[in-house]
Structure 1
Amino acid sequence: MTAPLTLISHHLCPYVQRAATALHEKGIPFERAFIDLANKPDWFLQISPLGKVPLLRIPQEEGEAILFESTVICEYLEETQGGAKLHPADPLTRARHRGWIEFGSSVLADLWVYETTQDGETLEAKRNTLKTKFSTVEAELGDGPYFAGADFSLVDAVFAPIFRYFDVFDSIAEHGIFDGLPRVSAWRKALAARPSVKAAVTDDYAERLMAFLRKHDAALLKTGKIAA
């Protein structure tokens, strides 16, 4: 019996969630190995060229192969595994999807600052940046429920972890980022209900994210409904 794939993970990493969602969508058996990125084990540093997650361990006849970078992992799964197709068949549409995946990565870069900054002015600036970027997405979306319509794609797997942040942020502050964006809001709701998206994180995700915000003394915690 062939050993399963192993996804080396961190509990909060949105890039890990992309890969986990893709694995679940394709119905591929896999195991999870969680590491502490603040205290990276030596075995992890030996196999991760960038010192980041996710990694995908792929058993071979002799030893194993290691893939790093979430986009690479997702593309490999799409090219080698059965199950649902997560990229469009048309080359031009597929290329456009890859562009929107990169756009999703740029949103994550803004989110990192938004959630970790201790400065109120920076927080507000990033809030406006995020609202502008989601307005750009609003103009691209159709009738849904997913990015490209009825079929779930890798673009959906990229944006699902983004929206998951806001499930926690919504309990902290009235940020207004999705105000006036009905298609984005409907997309967010559809992704939250998707089984593969739910399975991409552990049940204590929200608690872990709140602990992360407190550890960083995030300005976000000082703006709204609950006390840090």
Structure 2
Amino acid sequence: MAGPVIKEKLLFVSSWFCPFAQRTWLALNEKRVDYEYYEMSLKDPTTNQWYQLGEKPKWFLDLNPLGKVPVLAYKEGDETHCVYESLICNEFLEEYSPKEQPLLPDHPVAKAKSRIIIDSFSSKFVPLFYRILLRQDKESQKEAAEGMLAELRQLEQKIDPEGPFFQGKQMTLVDCALLPWFLRMSILQHYRNFAIPEDCPHLVRWTQDMEQLPAVKETQKAPEGGSSYDEQLLFHYQRYADASAKSTSARDFK
């Protein structure tokens, strides 16, 4: 199957329900970068079966040998440039389009603090999210949920209480990196009866405020038609809840 044509205009290869890809989608929208969206289906069009690890189309593996979204690609003369891994993509966008709505503070210490929050979230919170879903025995689910509660309460202490963004008046890469999983807390509520606790009101307020932003709403569109975005998200994450998912995340975080 032929893939998209790489041009001078930035190409964003994504999968609509992937939170990692949504990180970069948010940054692209907030920075108002001119880009072309390409939906990477996770199903083989010839069989309508989910791709297994390592079975992605050759054109996609040529762009990213890891076989994961997001991918940013563009032509510069005769050379094709490809960037992947969500947090690296977002840092790249800061350099690629530095004048358009900066998403990192100017001060080096403030930048470092932003990156510390992102790194901690990615290494602790994200794995716990998937473990709550993927693990089938109640004791393991409970252990992961307790870890998640501890992480949520730490984030509640770090968030700017006045907002509207995580670090105050301006959207940053912290919002882009964290928000996709907070937008999916309804999945944990549905499948595992887990919700943000009442003693984290600022996280709840932040999530609700962020959902109203055009840059966020633009990323909440399911391409398949029929049922709503939220309903389709629940459908796709059922594979995680019953441990049948074969994605990289399912493999890495189980």
TM surpasses 0.5: yes
Unpaired runs of 5+ in structure 2?
A: 1-6, 43-49, 223-227, 244-254
> Contact 2:73–2:80 at 8 Å: present in 1 too?
yes
Aligned pairs for 1:48-87 within 5 A: 48-81=64-97, 82-87=99-104
Tell me if 1:181 matches 2:200.
yes
Q: TM-score, normalised by structure 1?
A: 0.87
Q: CA deviation at 1:21?
A: 0.5
Q: Which amino acid aligns with 1:211?
A: F
Alpha-carbon separation, structure 1, partners of 2:8 and 2:82: 14
1:101 paired residue among 110, 113, 118: 118
Q: CA deviation at 1:141?
A: 1.7
1:132/1:6 CA distance change after superposition, 3 Å: same
Q: CA deviation at 1:94?
A: 0.2
**How far does the alpha carbon of each residue in 1:189-211 deviate from its partner, in whole angstroms, 9 at most, with x for none?**
11212211221232454233222
Unpaired runs of 5+ in structure 1?
A: 220-228
Q: CA deviation at 1:55?
A: 0.7
How many residue pairs are counted as aligned between the two chains? 218
> Contact 2:16–2:219 at 8 Å: present in 1 too?
no
Q: What is the percent sequence identity of the aligned residues?
A: 28
1:85/1:146 CA distance change after superposition, 3 Å: same
Q: Which amino acid aligns with 1:152?
A: M
1:6 paired residue among 11, 15, 39: 11
Tell me if 1:146 matches 2:162.
no
1:126 paired residue among 144, 157, 164: 144
1:33 paired residue among 30, 38, 43: 38
Report the counterpart of residue 224 of structure 1 in structure 2.
Answer: none
Q: TM-score, normalised by structure 2?
A: 0.79
> Contact 1:178–1:184 at 8 Å: present in 2 too?
no
> Contact 1:54–1:68 at 8 Å: present in 2 too?
yes
> Contact 1:127–1:177 at 8 Å: present in 2 too?
no
1:62/1:201 CA distance change after superposition, 3 Å: farther
Q: CA deviation at 1:63?
A: 3.9
Q: CA deviation at 1:169?
A: 3.6
**Cα RMSD (Å):** 2.0
Q: Which amino acid aligns with 2:156?
A: E
1:174/1:105 CA distance change after superposition, 3 Å: same
